[in-house]
Amino acid sequence: MTFSQARTKAILPLALGALLAGCAHLVKPGRPAPPHRAPASAAPTAPAGYTARADVQAFINKLVQQDGFERSWLEKILGAAQKRDSILTTIAKPYEAKPWYQYQPLFVNDARVQAGVAFWNAHAALLAEAQQRYRVSPAIVVAILGVESFYGRQKGGYSVLDALATLSFDYPSRSEFFQGELEQYLLMCREQHLDPLSLSGSYAGAMGVPQFMPDSYRKYAVAFGGHKPPDIWNDWADIVGSVANYFHVHGWQPDGLVAVPAALPAVIARPPATFAPTTVGALRADGVVTSQGLADDTPAMLVALQLQDGTQYWLGLNNFRVILQYNKSPLYAMAVYDLAARISEARALAGPNAPS
Phi, psi torsion values for 35, nearest 5 degrees: -55, 135
Set 148, 181, 183, 345: catalytic member:
148
Residue 133 parent element (H or E): helix 124-134
Whether 129 is catalytic is no
Q: CB–CB of 288/264 below 8 Å?
A: yes
Per residue in 116-145, is it b (16+ CB within 10 Å) or e — as a string? bbbbbbebeebbebbbeebebbbbbbbbbb
Q: Which amino acid is at 274?
A: T
Q: What is the DSSP string of 148-180?
A: HHTTTT----EEHHHHHHHHHHS-GGGHHHHHH
Using a 10 angstrom Cβ sphere, with 0-12 exposed, 13-18 middle and 19 or more buried, the burial of residue 309 is exposed
DSSP annotation string for 59-105: HHHHHHHHH---HHHHHHHHHH----HHHHHHHTS-GGGS-HHHHHH
Q: How far is CA 221 from CA 10, 178, 195, 246, 254, in A?
A: 34, 19, 19, 8, 20
CA–CA distance, 259 with 173 (Å, rounded to integer): 31
**Cα dihedral across residues 95, 99, 104, 106: positive or negative:** negative
Residues belonging to the active site: 148
